[in-house]
Amino acid sequence: MIQYLYTAPSGVAVDILRLDTVDSLAPGNKWFKLLPNILAAEKAGAQCVISFGGAYSNHLHALAAVGKARGVATVACVRADADSVLSPTLQDAQDWGMALHYLSRSDYRRRHDAAFLAELKAEYPSAYFIPEGGSNALGAAGCGNIVDLIPGAGRAYATVVLACGTGTTLAGVASTIADGVSVIGIPVLKAEKFMAADISTLLTALGGDRGNWRLDHRFHGGAYARLPPSMAEYMQAFEHQYGVLLDPVYTAKASYAVQSMVDNHEFAQGSRVLLIHTGGLQGRRGFGLDVGA
Ligand SMILES: Cc1ncc(COP(=O)(O)O)c(C=O)c1O
């Protein structure tokens, strides 16, 4: 589960937590985020679980898989045109029984509006709604269990680094990691204006902010799902050297960030760093890349 990657000349040693290998149905951070939500939906007697995402969303893909496995009906509110060709992600989701509810770009932008959600709730009266990216307190609490996979709750590490889309996974990890470990989140989109506040809100819901985390906004590469050539080259070399596939949207950027920080001597000499591989390999298909064996 934890794989050694390299020791830099400064003595900084980097390991990787392979969440990409934990669950074939909902790999990466997904099972952790979704399970508490699915249990809540079941407890509430919801007739279906609805969430939001784009055509290559790892979150929708995993929700469809978990829904099928647990016999829970799922609906995806997708940012796409009904007449566009189905992405492999949505094709899988549909094959697993997920209903696709298409939203135009302008409607999709309203996904957090109370009025828009009220309209959707009227359409699906007994549905359980999960926000885009599984970003709610239950999802964050579930991500706290990721730390169970790290011996000693991570106390051997000075720093844990992971990619952030909404910051929910970081909130969970920061809430349960051993005292003294600092957690660095690498936003994969331009998120200076909102992500830290969103994480604080989640941490408050989980019982309080321990002040053991920060975001490093240098590595988003310009936009969500945009991988600049330097990062793409790095990703290819990494995969070749370590035999670990990365996803171009999340862990490629986090891994590049770790390497840059090692090269710039930003970690204390001789300290240990844990990079979390949060999965998302199915999304490689959107980049014309294979998803491995
Ligand atoms: C593969 C992968 N890694 C990381 C993340 C980021 O997680 P979060 O939104 O909790 O920050 C996501 C999005 O959920 C993801 O799909």
Cα 216 off chain centre by: 16
Give the residue from 22, 27, 29 showing the smallest Cα distance to 172: 29
Regarding the beta carbon of 284 and ligand 1, being less than 6 Å apart is answered: no
pLDDT of residue 71: 94
Regarding the beta carbon of 154 and ligand 1, being less than 6 Å apart is answered: no
d(CA 88, CA 94): 10
Whether the Cβ atoms of residue 234 and residue 252 lie closer than 8 Å to each other? yes
Give the residue from 285, 276, 281, 288 showing the smallest Cα distance to 91: 285
Closest ligand 1 atom, residue 167 Cα: 11
d(CA 4, CA 184): 19
Q: What is the mean pLDDT of residues 24-31?
A: 89
Whose alpha carbon is nearest atom 12 of ligand 1?
A: 165
Regarding the beta carbon of 58 and ligand 1, being less than 6 Å apart is answered: yes
Task: Give the pLDDT confidence of 94-110 residue by residue, as tens digits.
Answer: 999 999 999 999 999 99
Radius of gyration of the chain (CA): 19
Q: What is the mean pLDDT of residues 33-52?
A: 96
Strand order in the sheet with 127-129: 99-103, 74-79, 48-53, 127-129
Residue with tokens 């957090």: 112
Task: Give the pLDDT confidence of 127-157 residue by residue, as tens digits.
Answer: 999 999 999 999 999 999 999 999 999 999 9
pLDDT at residue 170 tops 70:
yes
Task: Give the pLDDT confidence of 223-276 residue by residue, as tens digits.
Answer: 999 999 999 999 999 999 999 999 999 999 999 999 999 999 999 999 999 999
pLDDT at residue 83 tops 90:
no
Q: What is the mean pLDDT of residues 79-106?
A: 92
pLDDT at residue 24 tops 90:
no
pLDDT at residue 42 tops 90:
yes
pLDDT of residue 293: 62
Regarding the beta carbon of 87 and ligand 1, being less than 6 Å apart is answered: no
Distance 134 CA to ligand 1 centre (A): 9
Distance 277 CA to ligand 1 centre (A): 10
Regarding the beta carbon of 221 and ligand 1, being less than 6 Å apart is answered: no
Regarding the beta carbon of 272 and ligand 1, being less than 6 Å apart is answered: no
Question: Which pTM was predicted?
Answer: 0.96
166, 175, 184, 227, best to mutate for ligand 1 pocket (most atoms within 8 Å of CB): 166
Looking at every residue in the chain, the average pLDDT score rounds to: 96
Whose alpha carbon is nearest atom 14 of ligand 1?
A: 133
What does the CA dihedral 119, 122, 127, 131 come to, rounded to 10 degrees? 10
Distance 44 CA to ligand 1 centre (A): 26
Regarding the beta carbon of 51 and ligand 1, being less than 6 Å apart is answered: no
Task: Give the pLDDT confidence of 43-53 residue by residue, as tens digits.
Answer: 999 999 999 99
pLDDT of residue 98: 98
Distance 278 CA to ligand 1 centre (A): 7
pLDDT at residue 219 tops 90:
yes
pLDDT of residue 81: 82
Identify the band that residue 115 occupies on the pLDDT scale cut at 50, 70 and 90.
very high
Domains of the chain as residue ranges with CATH? 2-24+137-287 (3.40.50.1100), 30-134 (3.40.50.1100)
